[in-house]
Structure 1
Amino acid sequence: MPSQNLSMHCIHHLPLLLAGLLALSHGQLPSGDNKGYGNSSHQHGQESGEDPSSPQVAPSNTNFAFRFYHLLTSENPRKNIFFSPLSISTAYAMLSLGAGGHSQTQILNGLGFNLTELSILDIHRGFQHLLRVLSLQDHGLEVHLGNTLLLSDDLELLPGFLNSTMTFYDPKLFRPDFSDTVGTTKLINDHVKKETRGKITDLVSELTPDVKMIVVNYIYFKGLWKKPFHLSRTTAGDFYVDESTTVKVPMMVQSFQHQWYLQDRHVPCSVLRLDYQGDAVAFFILPDRGKMAQVEEVLTPQMLARWNHLLQNKYFYRSVEIHFPRFSISGSYALDQILPKLGFQDLFSQQANFSGITTQRKLQVSKSFHKATLDVNEVGTEATAVTSSFLTFLSAPRSHLVVRFNRPFLLTIFSPSTQSVLFWGKVVDPTAP
C-alpha cells in the first residue's frame, strides 16, 4: 500500500486507574500495634545504596496477573476482562510499607512474593527499579505509571512511612481537608482526569468524612504500531461471540506484511505478536473455535514465557493477512470483593494492621477498586525494524496465511525490558462497553 494511505495517529490508548481508591477509614487504635516496615525500609535503603542488584519482581507480578485473571474469568466466563496487574501490584506493594505484622505478610504473599526467597527490602527495590525503567521515554511510546497519596491534613504520619514511600514509589502527595468532601472529590477527579489524558473522568462520586487516606495508582499507555492497519480497508464484519450470537464490528485488515505468528501444535490456539514502536509488544491469543476453556486451562506464566521465546524465532516471522476488530473495552473491579479470595483476608476488615502509617488512629481499607480502558484502532507510523533470534520448537507452514480475529480472544501488552505484563484482557464481545 502506498504510504499516503497511512494516517499518523496512535493506535493504542490505555489509561488505567487503580483507585485503590484504597480509601482508609479509622477506628480505635489497638494496643500492642506493630510499627511496620516504614522506618527500617528507608534506613536500609540509604545504607545499601540505590538499587544495586535490581531485584526481580516481574515473575511474582506475572504470577499474580494470572491468578487474578483466572479468578475473574471463573466468575464471569462470558464477559470482557481488562485490567493492569502491574498497577494493582504496585499500589498494594506501596501500601504494604504502612502495614505491620500479619497484614504486611498477607499483602506481599497475596501479590505472589515468597518472603523466604526475596526480602521485603528487595521487593520495594525491585518496584523502584521497574518504575524507573518504565518511566524512560521511548520513541513512539508513552508509558506513564504513577502513584498518588491523598492524606488528610489532620493525619500525623510516621516519618518512616512517608520517607520509604517517597524513596521507593515517588508518589505525588496531596493534603486535602477530607471534611470538605465536595472539594476533595473534585481534587481527585481533576487529578485523575489530567493524569489519564482525559480518558477517566468522575472517578469518585462521593466520599465520606471518615476517610483519612486515599492511595491511587494509574497507568497511561499510548503506542504506535510498527506496522499499522490501513484505514481504507476497514469494513463491517461479523464477530462470533458464541454459537448463537453474532455482532457487527469494524474489521481492520493488514495484508502482505511479515508478522510474528505461530500455530501452536500443543495448545489449540494461534498466537500473533504485534510490535509497537519502542519497548512494548502485544500478544493476541486466538483459541480454535470452541476451545477457549481448553486454552485457559493451560494459561500460566510459563506458557506466556514459552510463546514469548518462540515468537523471537525468525522461523515464525512470516507473511500474514490479519483481520482484526477495531474496538474499545473497559474493566471495573471491586478489589475489596476480589482480593480476599486471593489471600488478602484481613486487609478489608477490622483485623487490618496499618500501624506503620500512623499511631494516631487505627486505619482499615474501606474501599478499593480498579478501572482500566482499552481503545484499539488502525493506525500508526510505518517502520521496518525486524526482531529475530534463534529458538525453535514448533513448526508452521510457510505459505501466506489469513488470520481472522472474529471470535473471542485473549490479549496482553508486555514490556520486554522489564519482562512485565502491563495489561491483560479477554475480548468476548468487542461491541460491549
Structure 2
Amino acid sequence: MNPMLVPGLLLAGLLTVEGLLKPNFSPENHEAVSQAQAGKGRTTAQELAKRNTDFGLKLFKKLSFNSPDNNILFSPGSISMAFAMLCLGAQDSTLAETKEAFNFRNIPKKDLHEGFHYLIHRLNQANQDSKMRLGNASFINQKLKPQKNFLTDVKNLYKADTVPTNFQNSENAQNRSMTMSA
C-alpha cells in the first residue's frame, strides 16, 4: 500500500469532521441541548478529532511496520469511541490508562462523552438523504449485571444498544453481532 495514501485519507477524514464541527450546529431534532452545551460539545469534539487523528497515525505506523506489504484498514474513530464508552464504567487506574492510551488525558470525563455525543449526532445529521448512519452496540457478558447508569449513559450518549451475549458460545455471539449490523 502506498505509504502516503493512508495519511492522506486520514487528513481527508479530519477535514470532513472539521467541517461538521463548525458552529452552524442547530439542535433541532436533538435532545434538549442548550446552546452552551452544544458549544462545549463542539469544542470538545474538535479537540477529540485532532487527538483521534494523532492516535490513528500512530496506530497506522505500528501496524504498517509489522506488515509493510499488506493493506491496512481500520477506523480510528470507531476504536476511540468504543474505548470512550468503556470509560463510562471505568475508574481509577483503568480510567487513567485508557485515557492515556487514547490521548484523552486532560479532558474531563463529562466533556469526553459530550464531545463524542456531539460528534455522533453531527455525523448522523450531516446528510439527511444518506442511508448510512453511525451506530454503536455494546456486547456484554450475559452473566454480568452492569449498573443502570452505565446502560443509560451508553444509550443516551453513544446511541448504543446493549446486547447480553454468551461469549462461551462463539456461534451465538457471532450471530448476535451479525444481527446488530444488519
2:160 maps to which residue?
171
CA 156–138 in structure 1, closer or farther in 2 if over 3 Å, else same: same
1:84 maps to which residue?
75
C-alpha root-mean-square deviation of aligned residues, in Å? 2.5
CA 183–80 in structure 1, closer or farther in 2 if over 3 Å, else same: closer
TM-score, normalization: structure 1? 0.31
1:61 maps to which residue?
52
Tell me if 1:135 matches 2:124: yes
Counterpart CA distance in 1 for 2:57 and 2:98 is 17
CA 159–185 in structure 1, closer or farther in 2 if over 3 Å, else same: same
Counterpart CA distance in 1 for 2:79 and 2:167 is 24
**Contact conserved, 2:52 with 2:102, CA < 8 A, in 1?**
yes
2:177 maps to which residue?
188
Structure number with the higher helix fraction is 2
The one-letter code matched in structure 2 to 1:135 is: N
Give the number of the structure whose alpha-carbon radius of gyration is greater: 1
Matches within 5 A, 1:126-165: 126-136=115-125, 138=127, 141-165=130-154
Alignment: residue pair count:
144
TM-score, normalization: structure 2? 0.68
> 1:179 deviation in Å?
6.0
Matches within 5 A, 1:258-269: none
The one-letter code matched in structure 2 to 1:53 is: K
Tell me if 1:94 matches 2:85: yes
Q: Deviations over 1:50-91 (max 9, x none)?
A: 544122311111111111111111212222122111111111
> 1:150 deviation in Å?
2.5
Q: Give the unaligned 5+ runs of structure 1.
A: 1-45, 195-433
Structure number with the higher strand fraction is 1
User: Higher relative contact order at CA 8 Å, sep ≥6: structure 1 or structure 2?
Assistant: 1
1:302 maps to which residue?
none
Counterpart CA distance in 2 for 1:89 and 1:148 is 14
Q: Deviations over 1:211-267 (max 9, x none)?
A: xxxxxxxxxxxxxxxxxxxxxxxxxxxxxxxxxxxxxxxxxxxxxxxxxxxxxxxxx
Correspondent of 2:108 among 116, 119, 131: 119
The one-letter code matched in structure 2 to 1:99 is: A
Q: Percent identity?
A: 26
Residue aligned with 2:69, SS: coil
